[in-house]
Structure 1
């Protein structure tokens, strides 16, 4: 039975992170789109898969798991011997990977999420942007990316010189920053810009970008 990915109709956000992982690991899959705008994620049949009514989720021959980071880790470890190695196995390299993954979760995602909410999600719901909240989140993310700039001055990626899930996880909300109106990933400094361009240049990323336009994201 081919793996099923339940995800957003557009390859963006956390759905994109899982799609990239599937491609990096060369895993065949069937895409099952969940129509969020028409509340398909709240239907009883979908809640049986993802009880919180969110995307993405996967069904791997009857094994169901949700939350994008958990899905990506599961896929990277199950298919460790094919495709791109996304989680190091050597002890110290793995420790650096776990450190980098924690950096993304604690020092990037909260501020990128806040900017997405103010720049895209509120507009989608017909709500007014809170400029003060935007400014605070942008300042906080800018300060965090100053540290990224320093780290990436001595290594290619966040966990070292090899691409890992710690880098890939950034696409979930990093990819929504520019459509939201924040250019920090390209303007903060040369090291951050180089790193972000390296992520977005991967075949696992470019494969899906023809399906996404800014106008669609803003209406999503």
Structure 2
């Protein structure tokens, strides 16, 4: 039995989990939950993920876990990956948690809302609020300017080594870049951010899942 990811191939959070599996060398199988048909809201799914969103995992021993970042931390810790420092190295661990907080509070909070208005709502046949999307875009731009300052002093967000805090940016960063928000690729205005983004988007793990988590037959 291999670890099973219950999710949707193109889902940002499903790809985040698959990315970590690829990074730490954990064999996995995607069990497709068709979110376009609302399968994530069925009573069967809600028994495993009570918020009704993908993904959740079932590890080889039957252990279940949801929330993509928690899953990433679990897998990296279980498999002793350098992507997450040991809590016994309290200063290195503190810098990692700081970087992880930066991603969730200063990046995801804005990128997710941009994607909601410009991608997710239109995909459901709903009208996005462009004025709201623009406000989130301007706010994110200011945050990425701070990233430029941080990354001018160190290679990655937590220091000189790549961690989960960097990789957690990939699904939503790639999505907003795809719709024309080029803050992460602007090597004139933000050369250190562009260098960092090119680095993490070139990792073999991301190249394997960036267009969707492979199905078992692929």
Question: Structure 2 length as normaliser, TM-score?
Answer: 0.90
Q: How far apart are residue 211 of structure 1 and its match?
A: 4.8
Partner of 1:203: 204
Partner of 1:117: 116
CA distance in 2, matches of 1:59, 1:53: 16
CA distance in 1, matches of 2:198, 2:144: 15
Cα RMSD, aligned residues only? 1.5
CA distance in 2, matches of 1:104, 1:209: 19
Q: How far apart are residue 109 of structure 1 and its match?
A: 0.7
CA contact (8 A) 2:9 2:15 kept: no
SS state at 2:31 partner: strand
Q: How does 1:172-211 map to 2 (within 5 A)?
A: 172-187=171-186, 189-209=190-210, 211=212
Question: Structure 1 length as normaliser, TM-score?
Answer: 0.89
CA distance in 1, matches of 2:178, 2:201: 15
Q: Which runs of 4+ in 1 moved over 3 A?
A: 209-212
Q: How far apart are residue 117 of structure 1 and its match?
A: 0.9
Partner of 1:72: 72
Count of residue correspondences: 208
SS state at 2:184 partner: helix
CA distance in 2, matches of 1:210, 1:176: 10
Q: How does 1:121-200 map to 2 (within 5 A)?
A: 121-187=120-186, 189-200=190-201
Q: How far apart are residue 4 of structure 1 and its match?
A: 0.8
SS state at 2:157 partner: coil
